[in-house]
Structures are given as C-alpha cells and as structure tokens.
C-alpha cells in the first residue's frame, strides 16, 4: 500500500508532466486563434462547439472519441454541435440535425444518424427518407416531423449555424471551437485524440480568465 508521501510524489509527477505537455500547446501550431472572436452566450461557461457533417467519415470516427469526453465535461462547460453546410448534402443533413433537436430526440439520434450514413450507407438527403428514418428510429409522428421541418425555428437556426461556421473560418471538418476564439483540427493538433487534449487545455485557459485568476 502506498504511503501518503509516495502518493503525493506520484501526484506531483503527474501534475508536472501534464503542465509540461500543456505548455507545449502554442497558438498557430496546435490551434488557431481567430482574429475576430465569434460571440458566445455570456453565461459564465466555457463554450465548446464541434463543426461536423454526418457524411464525413472523420467526423464519424471522432464521434466514438468525443462522446465519452462530452459526458465527463465539468458543469461550467457547454458543448454544442454546429453542422457545416459546404454543399447540398451538407445542408440536407444540417436540417435533419436541427429537426431532431427541435423534436427533442437529438441526444438519442445523433449517433444513430452517423451510423446510418457511414455504416448502413443511407443517404438521408430527401425529406421523405429523413421522415421515415425518424419515425422508425425515434418513434416520432410524421406530422410532427413535417411541422418541425418547415418551422421558422429550424430555418432560423440553420441560418445562424451557417453564419457561425463562416465566422470560424474553417475549410473542413471536424473542428472544435473553444469560446468562439480558438479553432482546433486534427492536422494542427496531431490527431483526433490530441484535439481533445488541446481542447482541455484551452477550456482550462478560458476558465481561468472567466474566474479572474
């Protein structure tokens, strides 16, 4: 059984190691700093946004990594997906994303949509296909889908989401944006696992700024 001194020393080594690793993260290398920060809600939280597309295999792979990471985020961290709209298929999938959110089934359907598109090879581009999918998978009513699909809320959120993606100045996905200031992608971070480590570092950085420390 480890003594208290041994435990303290082991913890100190881990802390020093983590600090040394974090110190290696530099703006312009592992992440990009936006010249003009994109506003986030002033609620005292650190905001993390994921730019993605359901048809992107790299985004699909990241989903397996980011899902458990999201579950362990502290209460003062807010996470939200922002579907990119770089083409017609992207727009169709973005609309599906916002429809599921409005219908209250996003949490249960997000991974299912990724799986359907990337594994089962369902395109889910047409309104009818999207409706049939959510009726079968989420048990929603067809009429509720149609109402949400045509709603002002969905159309407004699509417009707002597209504006944010453009403001993030990204050319591809997946990407993580922390507090509307920092952009992280797999290439700059050194892999998808590293994306989350850089995000953790930037979350801690922003948390300290919010707390005035």
180: domain CATH number?
Answer: 3.40.30.10
Which of 73, 59, 107 is CA-nearest to residue 199? 73
Residue 23: what pLDDT?
A: 57
Write down how long the chain is: 213
Q: Is 10's pLDDT higher than 90?
A: no
Which of 190, 192, 184 is CA-nearest to residue 168? 184
* Pairing status of strand 77-83 against strand 46-52: parallel
- How much is the mean pLDDT over the chain? 92
Residue 213's pLDDT band (boundaries 50, 70, 90)? low
Averaged pLDDT for residues 46-54: 98
Residue 212: what pLDDT?
A: 86
Is residue 2 situated within a structural domain? no
Q: What is the extent of the structural domain holding 141?
A: 28-211
Q: Is 24's pLDDT higher than 90?
A: no
Q: 101 to each of 52, 75, 87, 134, how far by Cα in Å?
A: 15, 21, 21, 12
**150-201 pLDDT per residue, tens:** 999 999 999 999 999 999 999 999 999 999 999 999 999 999 999 999 999 9
Is residue 11 situated within a structural domain? no
Q: Is 13's pLDDT higher than 50?
A: no
Q: How many separate domains does the chain show?
A: 1
Is residue 22 situated within a structural domain? no
Percent of the residues in the chain that have a pLDDT greater than 70, as a whole number: 89
**107-157 pLDDT per residue, tens:** 999 999 999 999 999 999 999 999 999 999 999 999 999 999 999 999 999
Is residue 147 situated within a structural domain? yes
Is residue 19 situated within a structural domain? no
Is residue 183 situated within a structural domain? yes
Is residue 8 situated within a structural domain? no
Is residue 14 situated within a structural domain? no
Q: In this structure, what are the phi and psi dihedrals at residue 59, rounded to the nearest 5 degrees?
A: -65, -40
Q: Which residue has the tokens 């045509």?
A: 150
């Amino acid at each position: 059984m480890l003594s208290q001194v041994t435990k303290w020393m082991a913890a100190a080594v881990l802390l020093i190691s983590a600090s040394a690793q974090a110190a290696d993260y530099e703006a312009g290398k592992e992440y990009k700093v936006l010249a003009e920060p994109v506003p986030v809600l002033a609620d005292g939280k650190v905001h993390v946004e994921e730019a993605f597309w359901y048809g992107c295999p790299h985004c699909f792979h990241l989903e397996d990594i980011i899902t458990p990471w999201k579950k362990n985020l502290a209460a003062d961290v807010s996470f939200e997906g922002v579907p990119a709209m770089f083409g017609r298929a992207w727009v169709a999938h973005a609309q599906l994303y916002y429809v599921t959110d409005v219908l209250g089934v996003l949490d249960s359907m997000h991974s299912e949509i990724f799986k359907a598109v990337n594994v089962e090879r369902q395109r889910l581009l047409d309104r009818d296909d999207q409706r049939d999918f959510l009726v079968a998978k989420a048990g929603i009513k067809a009429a509720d889908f149609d109402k949400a699909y045509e709603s002002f809320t969905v159309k407004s959120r699509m417009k707002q989401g597209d504006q944010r993606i453009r403001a993030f100045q990204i050319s591809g996905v997946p990407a993580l944006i922390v507090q509307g200031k920092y952009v992280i992608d797999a290439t700059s971070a050194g892999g998808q696992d590293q994306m989350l480590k850089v995000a953790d570092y930037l979350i801690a950085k922003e948390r300290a700024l919010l707390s005035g420390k």
